[in-house]
């Protein structure tokens, strides 16, 4: 069974950084890309970017360049996203989602991490 | 960036009714279009991929179609468990972009 287990919810101060994880199981981690998606409160979905763990290649939505950094650890089948210089605009739920290399179909999603930026 | 214009924003329908949700792409995206259902407090679930292919385990009352750059999700014989928000996603080119969502309620 494919499963993406994300780390717990975070409460962080403005200006700080946060790093969240997405542990994959039930499939070969390097056979797929990992995507990250933002959902602001009561809002729709925004694609942040993707990482191909096999070759450590990333692609970002221009809107999130400088904000998000995607990494992956093949030894632990875990993808990470770090968000920096947090503001209230970064308060949202963040999802990881598995994606096929060629078609980018996002077929399995993690349960989401709620990040709250507050002093 | 490719814009996905989704309609309607909300929809209220009766049990067993047929409902249709559409997404209009701002340019050609071929069949690189998926549909998702999201329930409150849950992550999106894949319903349809490649514009018309049913994802594993999804009931056959869901179907997808394409006419040029317009894509439709049809739900036959609406059930109570179909309530939620539906999104389309184009995965033809980066940045991937979602439609704004359709909130479906049962009358």
Does pLDDT of A12 surpass 90?
yes
Closest residue on chain B to A47 (Cα): B96
User: Which candidate, A60, A35, A46, places its Cα nearest to that of A92?
Assistant: A46
Contacts of residue A46 in chain B, CB cutoff 8 Å? Answer: 98
Torsion angle of alpha carbons B12, B14, B18, B20, nearest 10°?
0
Q: What's the pLDDT at B43? A: 97
A62 to chain B, any CB pair closer than 8 A? The answer is: yes
- CB contact under 8 Å between B98 and A45, yes or no, is yes
User: In chain B, which stretches have pLDDT less than 50?
Assistant: none
B101 to chain A, any CB pair closer than 8 A? The answer is: yes
Q: What's the pLDDT at A107? A: 96
- CB contact under 8 Å between B91 and A104, yes or no, is yes
A46 to chain B, any CB pair closer than 8 A? The answer is: yes
Q: What's the pLDDT at A41? A: 86
Q: What's the pLDDT at A44? A: 87
In angstroms, the CA B96 to CA B107 distance is: 33
pLDDT tier for residue A103 given thresholds of 50, 70 and 90? confident
For residue A1, how far is the Cα from the chain centroid?
A: 20
Q: Can you tell me whether residue A97 is helix, strand or coil?
A: strand
- CB contact under 8 Å between B98 and A46, yes or no, is yes
Residue A15: burial class (beta carbons within 10 Å; 0-12, 13-18, 19+) = exposed
Whether the Cβ atoms of residue B87 and residue A104 lie closer than 8 Å to each other: no
Mean pLDDT check: name the lowest of A33-37, A101-105, A111-115, B20-24.
Answer: A101-105
A102 to chain B, any CB pair closer than 8 A? The answer is: no
């Amino acid at each position: 069974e494919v499963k993406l287990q994300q780390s717990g919810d975070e409460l962080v101060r403005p200006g700080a950084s946060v790093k969240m994880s997405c542990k994959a199981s039930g499939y070969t981690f390097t056979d797929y890309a990992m995507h990250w998606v933002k959902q602001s409160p009561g809002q729709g979905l925004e694609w942040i970017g993707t990482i191909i763990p096999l070759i450590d290649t990333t692609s970002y939505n221009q809107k999130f360049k400088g904000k998000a950094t995607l990494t992956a650890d093949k030894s632990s089948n875990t993808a990470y996203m770090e968000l920096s210089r947090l503001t209230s605009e970064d308060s949202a739920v963040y999802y990881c989602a598995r994606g096929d290399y060629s078609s980018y179909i996002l077929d399995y999603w993690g349960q989401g991490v709620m990040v709250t930026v507050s002093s | 960036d490719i814009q996905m214009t989704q309609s309607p924003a909300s929809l209220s329908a009766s049990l067993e009714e047929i409902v249709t949700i559409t997404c209009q792409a701002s340019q050609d995206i071929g069949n690189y279009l998926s549909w998702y259902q999201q329930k409150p407090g849950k992550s999106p679930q894949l319903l349809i991929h490649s514009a018309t292919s049913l994802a594993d385990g999804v009931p056959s009352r869901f179907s997808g179609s394409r006419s040029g750059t317009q894509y439709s999700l049809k739900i036959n014989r609406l059930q109570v468990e179909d309530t939620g928000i539906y999104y389309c996603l184009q995965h033809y080119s980066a940045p991937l972009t979602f439609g704004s969502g359709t909130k479906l309620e049962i009358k």
